[in-house]
A and B are shown apart, each in its own frame.
Chain A
Amino acid sequence: MNRWLPFEWTMAVRFLREGRLQTIFIIGGISIGVGVIVFMSAMLAGLQANFIKRVLTSQPQIQLLAPDQIARPLRKDAGEFEDAVVQRPSQRVISIDQWPKITSQMRAMPEVTAVSPTILGSVLVVRGDASRSVTLTGVEPDSYFKIVRVPDYIVAGAPRLTSEDIIIGTELAKDIGATVGDKLNVRAASGVTRVLTISGLVDLGNKSVNQRVAYAALRSAQSLLGMIGGVTTIDMTVTDIYAAEEIAQRIQAANAVEADSWIKTNAQFFTAVQAQQNTNTLIRLFVGLSVAFGIAAVLVVSVIQRSKDIGILRAMGTSRGQVLRVFLVQGGLLGFVGSLFGAAMGVFALVYWHSVARQADGTELFPLMLERSLFIYTALLATVTGILAAMAPAVRAAKLDPVVAIRG
C-alpha cells in the first residue's frame, strides 16, 4: 500500500485495478475520444494558422484610405432639391489628408504593432514589345515588410527596394520575359516613365495576383504616380487579429479616413474560419459528452457491483464523504489516464496524417502544431469531465444505506 496515497485514492486505484477489463475498455473509449479531440484541434489549428498566416502576411490587417469623394445634392429651397438623382463622382486617386499625423497617432496606439504609409496606383510595365498593366505599391520597406512579409514570398533575388529597384510577381516576370537584374520601363497614366531594376520576384500564392503585383520604394512610386509627398493608404497590423474590425471602426470614427479591416475585406474567409471553429467546438462537446456518459455508465455499474464493499466500508466507519470521493477519484483517474493515452493516439494520427496529406504542389497541408497548452487543456478537460461524470454514481454510492448494501 502506497504511503503517499490517501485512503480514497487507495480505494479508487484498487477498485479500478480489480475491474481490469472494465477499466481497460472505458480507458480505451476515453482515449479514442481524447485522441479525436487532440487530432481535430491540432489539425484545425494548423490549417487555420496556415490560412491566417497566408492571408495576413500578404495583406495588411487594417488599411486606412482616403474617404470616398461624394457629391452633395444641389438644394433649391429648404427641404427641396434641385435634382433628386445624385451621380457618384469618379474617384480620383488622392492622398490621405495629414497622413504623417495620422501615422504617428496610429503608431502610438498600444494595440497597433506596425504602421506603414503606402501609395497604390496603376502603371504600365514595359519590356521590349511586352507590356502589362500592374498595380504598383510604393512602400517604406522597413515598416511595410513587418506588415506584408514580402521577404517570405521572395522566390528569386532579394527583398531590396532602393529608389532604383522594383519587386514584381513571378507570373508578371514570366509574361514579360524578365528576371532578377533586368531593367523595366514603368510608365504611369500621366506619361511619367522611370526605369527600375528588378531586385526580386515574389510568389504570393495566387496566379492572378502574381500577374499584377509590383513593389517599389515609396518615393519612386510617389514621383511615378504624380503624388509627391502623398500616400493613398496607411497599412497596419494589430496585436489581436480578431479585434481588427473593432479597432478599424474606432479609427474611422476618430479620423477623416476610411478604415477597412481584414475581417471586412475577407468576410467570406473569416466566416469560414468561424464556421471551422464552431464545428471544432461542437465536435469537442459531443465527444466530451459521449466520454462523460461512458464514464458515468461504467461507474454506475461499479457502484452496483461494489455495493457490498461500500456497505462494509460504511460499517467500518467510512464517511459518506469518503465514499463519494472514492468514486470521484475513479472518474478523475479514468479521465486523466484516458487523456494521456488519447493524447498519444492523437499525436500519432496527426504525425501520420501530416506526412500523408499534402497540397497539390507537394508542400505540407498544415503545419504540425503540437502545443503544450493543447495537451494540458485536454488532460484538464478530460479529468474534469471524468469527475463531473462520476458525480451521479458517487452520490448514489454515498447515499447507499449500509444495511441494504451489506444485505446485497
Chain B
Amino acid sequence: MASSEILKLEKVCKAYNVGLPTETEVLHDIDLELDHGEFLALMGPSGSGKSTLLNIVGLLDRPTSGRLLIKGQDTAVLGDAEITRLRGHTIGFVFQYHLLISAFTARENVMMPMLADRGFPSAEIEARANRLLEQVGLAKFAGNLANNMSGGQQQRVAVARALAMNPDLVLADEPTGNLDSKSADAVFELMRQVNRDSGTSFLLVTHNIELARRCDRIIEVVDGRIRA
C-alpha cells in the first residue's frame, strides 16, 4: 500500500565534527511526518537547527543517525547519483537569498531543472516554463534577466522554478524573509494556491507568525528538538 506521507523522519540526529573534541549535535532525535498535500510551517529561533533540518529533508545533507524516508524510500541506502535524481524529481527548493541564476532570464531559470534532467532544451520545456510563469503572474517578464526583476518577482520566479519538475514536496527556507509585507503575502498566497490546486506538499521555514498561522500545521524547533 502506498504510504500517505511524503516525508518521514525517524530519530534523526545531526552532529558536526563527529569524533572530534569540537563535536556539536545540532539536531536530536527528530521525528516528523509530512502528508501528501500538507502545508507545514517550521518555526524556531535562529540557530535552532531549522536550516539543518531543511537541508537534511532536502537531501542536501545526510543525517548522522536516524532514518529519512521520502515517499517511503529510505534515503540512507541511496548513492550520490540516486540522491541527486530523487532530489531533482521529488523536491523543489525556494531559498531566501540567491534566488535565481543571474546569467539567465526568468523563463530560462524556470527551465533549468527540466534542462538539467533532460539534457537539451525543447519546445515542451519552454512551454511548461511559460505556463508556470503565467501561474505566478509573471508571463510578461519571462524574457527579463533575473537581475532586472524586483525581489518579490524573483521569489515568484523561484517558486515557479521549484515547481518545474512537478515535485511532491517544496522546501521553502524563509522565502518571504527578504520581502516587504505585500510581496511576502503575494508569494505566500502563491504557494498556498499551488498547494491547494496541485496537492504539492510544502515545508515552509518562517519567522512570520502571521504566515505560519495560515499553514495547516506549525512545528517549532528549539535547540535541535521539536517542541511538542
* A residues neighboring B (CB under 8 Å): 1-7, 10, 14-15, 17-18, 308-309, 311-320, 322, 402-403, 406, 408
Contact = CB atoms under 8 A, between A and B. Distances in A.
A22 B128 CA distance: 34
Provide the main secondary structure of the chain A interface. Answer: helix
B113 to A, nearest CB: 4
Contacts of B28: none
B95 A317 contact: no
Contacts of B87: 315, 317
Interface in B93-125: 93, 95, 97-98, 100-104, 108, 111-113, 115-122
Contacts of B80: 320
Instruction: Please give me the 6 A-B residue pairs with the lowest Cβ-Cβ distance, nearest first.
Output: A317-B88, A18-B103, A14-B103, A316-B113, A308-B98, A318-B116
B165 interface: yes
Interface string B38-68: 0000000000000000010010110000000
B228 interface: no
Nearest to B100: A312
A145 B161 CA distance: 77
Contacts of A314: 60, 84
Given A315-B93, A319-B84, A408-B98, A2 B116 contact: no
A318 B98 CA distance: 17
B95 A3 contact: no
Contacts of B60: 314-315, 402-403, 406
Contacts of B116: 7, 313, 316-319, 322
A14 B98 contact: no
Given A318-B88, A403-B61, A406-B60, 19 more contacts: A1-B108, A2-B121, A4-B120, A10-B121, A18-B102, A18-B103, A309-B102, A312-B95, A312-B98, A314-B60, A315-B93, A316-B161, A317-B85, A317-B87, A319-B81, A320-B80, A403-B55, A406-B98, A408-B98
B131 interface: no
A1 B164 CA distance: 17
A313 B87 CA distance: 11
**Which of B95, B100, B101, B117 has most A Cβ within 10 Å?**
B101
Contacts of A5: 120-121
A408 B97 CA distance: 10
A326 to B, nearest CB: 10
B72 to A, nearest CB: 20
Nearest to B102: A18
A313 B117 CA distance: 11
Given A316-B161, A319-B84, A406-B95, A3 B120 contact: yes
11 contacts: A7-B115, A7-B120, A309-B98, A312-B98, A313-B101, A315-B87, A316-B88, A316-B116, A318-B84, A402-B60, A406-B95
B89 interface: yes
A1 B101 contact: no
Contacts of B100: 312
Contacts of A308: 98
Interface in B192-210: none
Nearest to B147: A18
B108 A316 contact: no
A3 B125 CA distance: 11
A305 B72 CA distance: 38
B104 A14 contact: yes
